[in-house]
Each structure stands twice: as C-alpha cells, then as structure tokens.
Amino acid sequence: MKIIAIEEHFTSPAVFAHLGNTKASGIMTKLRDMTGVRIKEMDDAGIDYALLSENNPAAQNLAPDVSVATAKASNDFLYEAIQANPKRFGGFAALPTPAPKAAADELERCVTKLGFKGAMIMGTSNGQFLSEMEFRPIFERAAKLDVPVYLHPSPIMPAVRDAYFQGEPYFHNSGLGFGLETLTHSFKLITSGLFDEFPTLKIIVGHLGEAAPFIMWRTTENITRAGNKMPKSLRDYYKTHFWLTTSGAFQDSALQCAITEMGLDRILFSVDWPYIDNLDGTKWLKSTPLSDKDREAIASGNAIKLLKL
C-alpha cells in the first residue's frame, strides 16, 4: 500500500530568521532537517511521499514587503529540497498573505514554475481572517489554477485566549485553540460568499475538520433558523468544497464520523510531522477498521486524485 502524507512541515532559513526565541528546540531541529531524520522517519513508518509545507506562521505575520521576500525565499528553498528528492517530496506554497495580489502571483509562480500542488495558508494573517474581501485575489488564483488551498490553524487571538483560557495554557494551541480558530475560519469562508464567487475552489482542512463533521447538522440548522440567506446550506458548501486530512487526529470514531458526513473520497492521510510521530500515524492507518480498498484510498488514492500526483 502506497502511503502519501500531505501535512508535513519544515522551516526554511528565511522564516527561521524571523522566529526569535524558538531556535533551540528539538522540534525546530527536525523542522530544519530536509534529508536526514526526516527521510529516516518516513522510511521507518513506511511513508512513501510527503507534501511539505512551511511551518506556522510562515510569512503571514510580517510586513507586506518582508512577507513577499520571505515567502519567495521559502518556496525557492522548498523547490531545491524537492529537486534533491523528487520521488519523496512535493510541496505546498507559502504565501505572503499580507500582500494579497503578490500572494496570488507567488501561488501562480509556485504552481506553474516550481510544480507545487497548491498552497498552505497558516490561518489568520496579522489577525485577519481570510474571509475578508481583500484576500479574494488569492482564492481567485487558486480556483483559476485548479489547485487546493490547505487551511492550517494559527494561534487564537490574544483576546480570545485570555478570555477563554486564562491560566490554562494547555488549551491555547493544539489542545483546543487551534481547532477553534480553524473551525471558525472554515465557516467564515463559507458565510462570506467565497464559494459563490469561485464555485470550483477547493479547500483542505487537517485534523479531520476540527470537529466540523460532528457539528455540521446543528450549525447548519441554527444559522439557517437565525436568518442566514446563502443560496445553499452551510453543509452543502462544506461537502462540496472541503477535503479533510487525518493529521494529528488518529481516532477511529472521528474518522468514521468524517467518512459518514463527507464521503470516503474526501478523506486524505496526513501525520503533522514533526509534531506527531510518523509511526503513530501509519500504525493507526493500518489498524483502523476499513476495507483494504478504502484504506488504500485514504492512504494515497484520494491524494493522487485531488493533487494530480
């Protein structure tokens, strides 16, 4: 069974230069490694191919001109890593979202010149949700190029963090905050009218949708009852435009909920390396209750189709 993982991170020298006090961590050592421990841990876990993406926050919280230069340097760095191991790696572009038109142009360069398979956007951009109109050029270009945008979490805004999780730092990020941020972001993209403007746009969300499949009926019913006048229901938009990955969410019941809500062809395998161990991901993939045909589709078949691998 071929295994493709599509939310696997790295940190380029260009982004590393902006990170301040995180430079000595063991995670950062792995993030900066492109050939040694990265490939060894892929081999040990049986992962054949990985789609790599710049680590959070990539170039998204920088001044516009700095963001443009940093994203370009990151993408050039990733391109060189892919060229050195083309049978093992592909890439998602990092985008300078503080400069939306330049971000659209960088996406096109990465897809048409560098062979990248889409973009990964690290949540909010300098505190702004990408549902705001100024970011439309990015999504317009993704739809034109027929490549997906992977919507990754970013840390919740400080005001929300302080109001909800004061004194409980284990909830701030991956414990709960990341999920709240991405779930909110996903639904705001829908209610902003984005998919009426770009009806072929494709969005990928990790962590099995950050609970979206579980709450979809309730959220759809409540916003409709509250007077939302979208041409289609929130649930219809989500099931049409979103794909989900297993990154960091190796739970049988959650997977079955996602499959039931979205359909098997909308679920793709990911690990979220190096934050999650590759072996944890592949051991679960091989043991979770699925037919061999369905397991292979999640392991690689759906990614091959969506990303044109």
3-class secondary structure per residue, the chain: CCCEEEEEEECCHHHHCCCCCCCCCHHHHHHHCCCCHHHHHHHHHCCCEEEEEECCCCCCCCCHHHHHHHHHHHHHHHHHHHHHCCCCEEECECCCCCCHHHHHHHHHHHHHCCCCCCEEEECCECCECCCCHHHHHHHHHHHHHCCCEEEECCCCCHHHHHHHHCCCHHHCCCCCHHHHHHHHHHHHHHHCCHHHHCCCCCEEECHHHCCHHHHHHHHHHHHHHCCCCCCCCHHHHHHHHEEEECCCCCCHHHHHHHHHHHCHHHEECCCCCCCCCHHHHHHHHHHCCCCHHHHHHHHHHHHHHHHCC
CB neighbours (10 Å) of residue 146?
Answer: 12
Q: What confidence tens digit (pLDDT) does each residue in 49-73 have?
A: 999 999 999 999 999 999 999 999 9
Mutual orientation of helices 158-165 and 177-191 as an angle, nearest 10°?
A: 130
pLDDT of residue 25: 76
Between CA 66 and CA 206 the distance in angstroms is 28
pLDDT of residue 20: 74
| Annotation marks residue 252 as catalytic | no
**For residues 230-244, average pLDDT:** 97
Q: What confidence tens digit (pLDDT) does each residue in 164-198 have?
A: 999 999 998 899 999 999 999 999 999 999 999 99
Question: Which residues fall within 8 angstroms of residue 23, CB to CB, at 6 or more apart?
Answer: 16
Q: What confidence tens digit (pLDDT) does each residue in 197-206 have?
A: 999 999 999 9
CB neighbours (10 Å) of residue 151?
Answer: 23
Exactly one of 48, 65, 76, 272 is catalytic; which is it? 272
Superfamily grouping for domain 4-307: Metal-dependent hydrolases (3.20.20.140)
pLDDT of residue 22: 60
Q: What confidence tens digit (pLDDT) does each residue in 11-28 have?
A: 999 999 998 766 567 899
The per-residue b/e assignment along 219-243, b for 16 or more CB within 10 angstroms, e otherwise, is: bbeebeeeeeebeebbbebbbebbb
pLDDT of residue 36: 94
Average pLDDT, the chain: 96
Domain residue spans of the chain: 4-307
Q: Look at 3-7, 27-31, 108-112, 147-151 and tell me which has the smallest mean pLDDT.
A: 27-31
Between CA 170 and CA 140 the distance in angstroms is 37
Q: What confidence tens digit (pLDDT) does each residue in 250-301 have?
A: 999 999 999 999 999 999 999 999 999 999 999 999 999 999 999 999 999 9
Between CA 173 and CA 165 the distance in angstroms is 10
